[in-house]
Chains A and B, each alone.
Chain A
Amino acid sequence: MSENINAVRHVSIVGGGTAGWMTAAALAKILEDSDCVITLIESEQIGTVGVGEATLPHLRFFNQRLGIDEPEFMQRVNATYKLGIEFVNWGQQGDSYIHPFGDFGSPINGIPFHHYWLHAHNQGLKNPIGDYSLPIAVCEKNKFAFPAQDNSLASTYSFAYHIDASLYAKFLREYCEARGVIRQEGKVVKVNQDTETGFVTSVEMDSDVTVEGDLFIDCSGFRGLLIEQTLNTGYEHWRHWLPCDRAVAIPCQSAEEPVPYTRATADKAGWRWRIPLQHRVGNGHVYCSDFISDDEAEHSLRQGLGGKPEAEPNFLRFNTGRRKQMWNKNVVAIGLSGGFLEPLESTGIHLIQLGIMKLIEFFPNKEMDKAYVSEFNRVMQMEIERIKDFLILHYNATERDDSEFWNYVRTMSLPDELQRKIDLFRQTGHVVKYQEGLFLEPSWVAVYFGQRARPISVDPRVERFDLPQIKMQLDKLKSQIDAAVLSMPDHLQAIKNLDDPTNDGWKHASMNLYGSH
């Protein structure tokens, strides 16, 4: 592809989990016509985390870029659709709300919808704000249809999938091998570095194979074999704000039809996930070991299982935080090696995808230009920090005082940026806006109101409307939503409809978090 003698000719990826295979697939596609060699090393003996099963709509963009056919993909990974996450017991025991991939109402006279709802609510309106979001209504009725592409109500949402992560890695492995990615099975036992630059030059495996590379992608998981164990890059710990440090996962048989949303149920010292797939249900319990034991965590998870367990419990340990530089010398950390935010909002795979896209955008020459490295690190840090703040909000915006854990997170000190955002919301109902960043206004609105954070004041411009006036508008919106949902097929039927080649709404559906509206 290039006459440039400095061009990267060998990319070596250490790790064959979701991060490793996604990176390999994207590079194989983008470097298809080049003479660049891609090698991926994985060790069956070490295995993968493999629990990342709930995704965000952006993954569809990734798959489409690879040229993957969505119906085939869904069948291969036993996927179901996902329109959001239901949060149970977060604001208070017994509470429940859905954080949807979509918006609530739409602004009127430039004033965000939630001010109108709040004003009506303060005057006695009983309906929760979720009644005015189409994807929430679709979740509640267990239905699914592809969003529309116009500016209508039917375009106000987006969708993602629940997938079997190990099947996805297998699927991508086939994709990669068909495109010439070399797979090396075995354990890396030694890492060699250039004595002058400190760049990683090769890795040696227990099979006596040595794999060289100009660029190394560290997808070795939490251990960060290259980025940390070799380059000592450093890790910024976020345990103070995101104290959960363990998880236990047990898949079980499905006892009921799959719903088009993930469920996250707050527990005594953490929370439990439930991810419906076509063939089974993924379950797990994320918890803080300072407050409960592994046995208690497992017990609580087992009690909540809806069906017969399909495997032995898989215990995982982690430290929330971020690698201080995700790109250091000629090593780029993608996946768990780059940092870990707990899976509350299914952001793990999204961050992998983002890292890959940015790596492609700043694809380096052999000398690893500082400008690329610093921009990559700056943008990745900004993204992960923003997601971090949004996750912390879930713990802190609560009235729960029924356990030590909840007392801690409810009263802990917050990052300044987040404190500022929460203060402004509590005072005025204003949600601080970003241009970029993953979670925008609708997401913050969902969590704030879903978890009982109520502003002291609303925008004074909505105060001139009395309850009947606002209610008339809200009722109209609600009946439009109800009518739209009524015409949709059941979720399971929608999955079956994938066999129908004319059912190709996925091809054009918006891939942002909130739909095209």
Chain B
Amino acid sequence: MSNAMNKITIIGGDEHAWSAAARCLVSLRGQNLELTMIDCDAPTTPAVLALDLSAHQFHQAIGIQETSLIKNVGGSYCYGTQYKTADSVFVFTQSPVGELINRVHFHHYIARLKNVGGSVDFSAHSIAVQAGQQNKFSHPQANTALDKLDYTINLDRLRYIHLLRSAVLGLEAATTKIKHLKSSVKSVEYGKEGIVTSLILNSGECIETDFVIDCSGRLVDDQFESWREFLPLDKSLSWVQESTEITPVLNQYNEFDHASLTQTSLPGGRFYRLSYDSEYVSDQQALGLAEQKVGKFAPQFSEQTNHRAGVAKRIWHHNVLNIGPASVYAGHHLFSGLYHTQTAMDRWLSLFPRPGVNAIEANKALAAEYNRQFHVEMAHVRDVHVLIGCRQRNNYPSTLTHRLNLFVGTGRCAFYESDVLEPHQWVNLMLGFGHWPNKTDPLINHLTRTQLENLLERHHAETEQVVAKMPQHDQLLQAIRNAS
């Protein structure tokens, strides 16, 4: 360990590792950074990654334009996910549904109509859902009805890793050295108080380091908080199938007994993941289920993986930061693993470690704060996934129970520090899973059923008009791909 914080080592060759590297290079520009990438476990299996809008700024900083994600990485746009469970069918979208009318949130009007006996369809008022169901897509446009649209980009994982790697390796500059080693870690040398001082590689090379970002799970702390009681699906079977059909703007999520199936799409292909509880579903049965659900099971590729839902208790321990699936796994629902890596890196950069052997106390304090913030955030992530994936409502974490009670009792969204969803996104999820408020904002209690019906009908018609003018998703993708 030197007296500066500039020898940073990243272990791993997946999207987490390269994305962490890119973040370091952008944020530590001009800091005499010596970045060593120990490129091990580079994935060879296809998958679809979802990137949300927060990735834009960082992409721009490393010279990746959104159009090149569509053009060169086989990307497509996505407005949300259609959920089908035993008792609900709905679309979750990141974008707000409806708007504030006379200082009252839109969902109160819908809930009020339902409570006075009217029939309601929340999705009918969402531009994103309506567009998604017609396979249309448009970017947000300021000062129009589209200005609050939010979307993600689905990407071919392997091609994205390739793109990121080239971008990262191209960022070498006078004040930034990048060492890219295709090897893996054989052993670790520790100094005072458990600080990692160097890594010995299989190639025999010894890498001195000030800080290690481990995306390989090798150095992960063994203290783990399991979420299995809420999220029991511990195995998955994933596969890719070719498709000549149009590229959907909505992902699919189907729930069965002790299993769920997600479908994400890219132009020309569908990526499926069947998650199941190995206590009830054998690997063989999973294959049967897959065949039964998607018709002809003719994968270009398939893979079976074990998972353990939960989080590592100490994400930052001594001078090691663990990111990637070994540190947190909650299923493949709303948040991609990459989202967690991005927030993990942002947090680390805001609590940047202190250099030198005398900084042990300072770094302990930073790590403790890091881990505290991480766990506050992860409790919300857990709640989101429990709401989606856990049907035993008597078994909910107390924070989720409070959220639901408050929403059902008042139509309000509870405020929690470091929440991971916007209030309107919680509303969308809660309504979708059948948690309807039985009381609404008193400010609209005077509205009659007819008044509410007229208001909502007008709103629905306006939504339809907006959607009618939006382009087809595949046309837009094609136009981007054709543009020089």
Interface residue stretch chosen among B123-131, B269-277, B406-414: B406-414
Whether B446 contacts A1 by the Cβ 8 Å rule is yes
A361: CB under 8 A from chain B?
yes
Instruction: Please give, as numbers and ranges, the residues of chain B lying within 8 Å of A434 by CB-CB distance.
Output: 417
Total contacts A to B, CB within 8 angstroms?
Answer: 90
Whether B354 contacts A460 by the Cβ 8 Å rule is yes
Whether B415 contacts A379 by the Cβ 8 Å rule is yes
Least distance between A437 CB and chain B CB atoms (Å) = 8
Which A residues, 108 to 139, have Cβ-Cβ distances below 8 Å to chain B?
109-111
Whether B442 contacts A1 by the Cβ 8 Å rule is yes
A457: CB under 8 A from chain B?
yes
The docked-state distance in angstroms from the alpha carbon of A361 to that of B440 is 11
Instruction: Please give, as numbers and ranges, the residues of chain A lying within 8 Å of B27 by CB-CB distance.
Output: 109-110
B32: CB under 8 A from chain A?
yes
Which B residues, 445 to 463, have Cβ-Cβ distances below 8 Å to chain A?
445-446
Whether B410 contacts A375 by the Cβ 8 Å rule is yes
Q: Closest residue of chain A to B361, judged by CB? A: A427
Interface size class of A (residues with CB under 8 A): 35 or more
Which A residues, 435 to 464, have Cβ-Cβ distances below 8 Å to chain B?
435-436, 456-457, 459-461, 464
B351: CB under 8 A from chain A?
yes
Q: Closest residue of chain B to A430, judged by CB? A: B351
Interface residue stretch chosen among B141-149, B160-168, B248-256, B362-370: B362-370
Instruction: Please give, as numbers and ranges, the residues of chain B lying within 8 Å of A420 by CB-CB distance.
Output: 368-369
Interface residue stretch chosen among A167-175, A246-254, A259-267, A362-370: A362-370
Whether A362 contacts B412 by the Cβ 8 Å rule is yes
Which B residues, 414 to 434, have Cβ-Cβ distances below 8 Å to chain A?
414-415, 417-419
A430-B32 CB under 8 A given contacts A459-B352, A460-B352? no
Which B residues, 334 to 380, have Cβ-Cβ distances below 8 Å to chain A?
349-355, 359, 361-362, 365-366, 368-369
Which A residues, 370 to 386, have Cβ-Cβ distances below 8 Å to chain B?
370-372, 374-375, 378-379
Instruction: Please give, as numbers and ranges, the residues of chain B lying within 8 Å of A460 by CB-CB distance.
Output: 4-5, 352-355
Total chain B interface residues with beta-carbon distance under 8 A: 39
Whether A372 contacts B365 by the Cβ 8 Å rule is no
Instruction: Please give, as numbers and ranges, the residues of chain A lying within 8 Å of B30 by CB-CB distance.
Output: 464
The docked-state distance in angstroms from the alpha carbon of A446 to that of B230 is 44
A436-B406 CB under 8 A given contacts A424-B365, A457-B362? no
B402: CB under 8 A from chain A?
yes
B260: CB under 8 A from chain A?
no
A435-B439 CB under 8 A given contacts A362-B410, A375-B412? no
B405: CB under 8 A from chain A?
yes
Instruction: Please give, as numbers and ranges, the residues of chain B lying within 8 Å of A379 by CB-CB distance.
Output: 415
Instruction: Please give, as numbers and ranges, the residues of chain B lying within 8 Å of A371 by CB-CB distance.
Output: 405-406, 408-410
Contact check: which of A365, A424, A459, A464 meets B369 at CB < 8 Å? A424
The docked-state distance in angstroms from the alpha carbon of A148 to that of B435 is 44
Q: Which of B359, B365, B412 has the most CB of A within 10 A?
A: B365
Least distance between A31 CB and chain B CB atoms (Å) = 9
B478: CB under 8 A from chain A?
no
Instruction: Please give, as numbers and ranges, the residues of chain A lying within 8 Å of B415 by CB-CB distance.
Output: 379, 436
Contact check: which of B31, B361, B406, B439 meets A365 at CB < 8 Å? B439
Whether A428 contacts B409 by the Cβ 8 Å rule is no
A7: CB under 8 A from chain B?
yes
22 interchain pairs (CB within 8 A)? A1-B445, A4-B445, A7-B442, A110-B349, A111-B352, A361-B412, A362-B410, A369-B410, A374-B402, A374-B406, A375-B402, A424-B368, A427-B366, A428-B354, A430-B369, A432-B369, A434-B417, A435-B418, A436-B417, A457-B354, A459-B352, A460-B353
Residues of B within 8 A of A (CB): 4-5, 27-32, 349-355, 359, 361-362, 365-366, 368-369, 402, 405-406, 408-410, 412, 414-415, 417-419, 439, 442-443, 445-446
Q: Enumerate the 4 nearest inter-chain pairs by beta-carbon distance, A residue then B residue, closest first.
A: A371-B409, A2-B445, A427-B362, A427-B365
